[in-house]
Amino acid sequence: MSGAAASAKPDYSTYPTLDRKARRAAAAALLAMEGGGAPASAADLARIEAFYRMEARLLDEEFYDRWYDLLADDLFYWMPLRENRFRRDNRPSLSADNMAMFDETKADIAVRLGRLASNLVWTEDPPTRHVYLISNVEAFETGTTGEYEVHSAFVQYRNRSEHDEAQLVGRRRDLLRMVGDRIEVAGRLILFPQSVLLTKNLSAFF
């Protein structure tokens, strides 16, 4: 966070918490999103695409306090690790029991942002410069009014100091919630094609 948002810490006790069982259920729900609902209307799809463009810009420019306001209080944010499987192995490479790089609620995100704002994170001093590209956006109705299952692909280019650079490519499955004139991220599944990430750190948001 930055500015006033960094100095005024949220009251984490007011946020929904998830025990192990609830986290597994939330992870399973994200994995079950496979685009089976009716496609969103053209108007709603355009609104969602505009939301993603704005979100990418906020992350590029490190407007983390504004990005944080886009997250629903009941957010579940999950980046599981893939397991390599032969085709003859029927077990899934992804499951709700997999280890995860990120297994977070909104309160967990707030802690990470507070850590960045402390200026004590050596991996971000000097800071990383980001460029996020979001594409392949598909949105589907969920059966709950105002909620959409959204699939997208992303490229994140990262550069730090003079010669430190990386490019991460992956997919996201989001549960987006339209509340009045705003959109909130209520669930986010981040999927990388790699089973082992070779980047030096993951002090970033996706």
Residue ranges of alpha helices (H) inside 69-120 are: 106-117
List the domains of the chain with CATH numbers.
3-191 (3.10.450.50)
pLDDT of residue 10: 62
pLDDT of residue 3: 43
pLDDT of residue 101: 86
Task: For the beta carbon of residue 184, count every other beta carbon within 10 angstroms.
Answer: 19
Q: Each residue of 53-91: b (16+ CB within 10 Å) or e?
A: eebbebbeebbbbbbbebbbebbbbbbbeeeeeeeeeee
Could you give the C-alpha distances from 118 to 6, 9, 102, 112, 114, in angstroms and in order? 9, 12, 21, 10, 6
pLDDT of residue 89: 81
Q: Each residue of 147-169: b (16+ CB within 10 Å) or e?
A: bbbbbbebebebebeeeeebebe
* Closest CA relative to residue 44, chosen from 118, 145, 133: 145
Residues sharing a CB contact under 8 Å with residue 25, sequence separation 6 or more, in sequence order: 96
pLDDT of residue 176: 98
Q: How far apart are CA 65 and CA 82, in angstroms?
A: 31
In the block, which residue shows the tokens 């919630």? 177
DSSP label at residue 39:
B
pLDDT of residue 47: 97
pLDDT beneath 50: ranges in the chain: 1-7
Residue type at 103 in one-letter notation: D
